[in-house]
Amino acid sequence: MIEFLRIFIIAFVLGFLQSFIITEIDMGVWLRPMPYLLLFIITPVNFNRYGLLVIAFIFGMFIDLTSGTFGTHAASCVAMVYAKNFIDMRYADFDSLKLQGETYVGTETKGLLFYFYYAGALIFIHHFVFFMLDYFEFVSFFRMIFSTIVSSIGTFLLILLFKSIIKR
Amino acid sequence: MFIILQWLKRNSYPLLALLLFAFSVNQILRFQIYQHSYYYNSSVSFFRTIDTWRSNVLSYLNLKVDNENLKNENLILRSQLGINKSPLQTFRDTSYYDSISKALNHYKVVYTYIPANVIKNTYNSRNNYFIIDQGSKQGIEDGMAVICPQGIVGVIINTSENYARGMSVLNSKFEITPYLPSIELRQGVIGWSGMDYNYVELREVNRTEQIKKGMTVVTSNYSSIFPPNIPIGKVHSVSLKNKSNFHQITLKLATDFNRLNSVYCVKNNYHIEIDSLSNPILDLPK
């Protein structure tokens, strides 16, 4: 219950930051960081996968409603959480995490390189789906890829920053 | 049913993810103006392409029918151009182009064609009639021949301002002289026996003539109503009665009266002139 409440508070704070602060800052055409993805990265590996899918959808819809993107965040969050479930089952190794007394993938449990690949892959998937639905045309494919890469880097750096702030 | 439930249970997670994703994309397509218009335009373009493919395939499948219709139309046009125009004089000019232009100016058009649609048609009575949607205002007159792309249809007998009534081939009073091009025979009379709307009888053909099944029968150039070489039908059966001097011939009609729709009314512009020359009084010595 405490875990759920903690995640709820983090979700609220990240959602608020994303909707009312980061979206409002003009960072140019290519850079659109979305640090709210930290919520799904720090979600325990053994969290109910169906529940997480629904939470991702509702959370994405909330971001969409506040930023006027109507389903783009929701679709990309669902895609990312689906991929997270797959990556967790294949690579996260829940037993070793349990032995270390943790339930999530972090730099302190898996090391910086694994975390870089893990978070980087999830962020990239999210941003790829997001920009694909945002650009919505094949002629802008390379622009879409460039936006995805630049924004993924920005998001990853902000996530590292927030993670160091919330110590998790 | 059990297998389906098992499959749904096994794949419930990806199905839920797909459902939520599809719902999100649906929201995008519904509420985001750019995506909505792009999706709408793309889908319209996609379905237009599909329609074009479908239309191409269907038109390819209908090529045979179209080809037949074109051939028949061509027949009419050919009869208009070649047979129904005859030179009034022969030119002996040295200039080739002069002779061509003069010749074109001095051709006479024997037949005038007026297209019409059949709005009513009977084919099961003893005496059958049809009504067309063109009348005297459009130039239809009593006695005009009526043909369709497949063959002959009948003769106009009554005309109002905007409609006309015709006596079809399937009428006991209808008679026409045929021409069998394969044996160059202009003999006999065609009439309907009243039995089957697909067949007519060819009577009074001498038993010495070599009539064979499958021979094409067309209109004769002796007719002052019908243009020559319009298909009537094909010989379906030939038999000889004992002690009879004539063949008993049945023709399968070229025209399908069950599907009669577009027709042409044909006016012989020299009909009166020809009839006046046929008057026996002219033969009397003065």
Report ipTM (2 d.p.).
Answer: 0.86
CB contact under 8 A, A78 and B21: yes
Asked if B60 is an interface residue toward chain A (Cβ–Cβ < 8 A), one would say no
Bridge partner residues of B240 (DSSP): B247
Asked if A79 is an interface residue toward chain B (Cβ–Cβ < 8 A), one would say yes
Assess whether pLDDT exceeds 90 at residue A81. Answer: yes
In chain B, % of residues over pLDDT 90: 19
CB contact under 8 A, B16 and A53: yes
Residues of B in contact with A81 (CB under 8 A): 17
Query: If you average pLDDT over each of B65-69, B85-89, B99-103, B162-166, which comes out highest?
Result: B162-166
Asked if B30 is an interface residue toward chain A (Cβ–Cβ < 8 A), one would say yes
Residues of B in contact with A85 (CB under 8 A): 13
Do the beta carbons of residue B251 and residue B190 sit within 8 Å? yes
- Please tell me the distance in Å from B4's CA to the nearest CA on chain A: 20
Chain A interface disruption, residue of B8, B12, B24, B33, most A CBs within 10 A: B24
Nearest residue on chain A to B37, judged by CA atoms?
A136
Look at chain B and count its residues.
Answer: 286
Q: What is the mean pLDDT of residues B92-113?
A: 60
Distance, CA of B8 to chain centre: 59
**Please, what CATH class does the domain formed by B112-269 belong to?**
mainly beta
Q: Could you read off the pLDDT of B119-163 as tens digits, one per residue?
A: 888 887 778 889 888 888 888 998 899 998 889 999 999 898 888
CB contact under 8 A, B27 and A70: yes
Q: Rounded to 5 degrees, what are φ and ψ at A26?
A: -85, 110
The domain limits of chain B are 2-61, 68-109, 112-269
Please name the helix (run of DSSP H) or strand (run of DSSP E) that holds residue B40, with its range, or none: helix B33-61
Residues of A in contact with B38 (CB under 8 A): 136-137
Bridge partner residues of B152 (DSSP): B147
Q: Of B14, B20, B38, which has the smallest distance from its Cβ to A137's Cβ?
A: B38
Do the beta carbons of residue B140 and residue B134 sit within 8 Å? yes
CB pairs under 8 A between A and B: 64
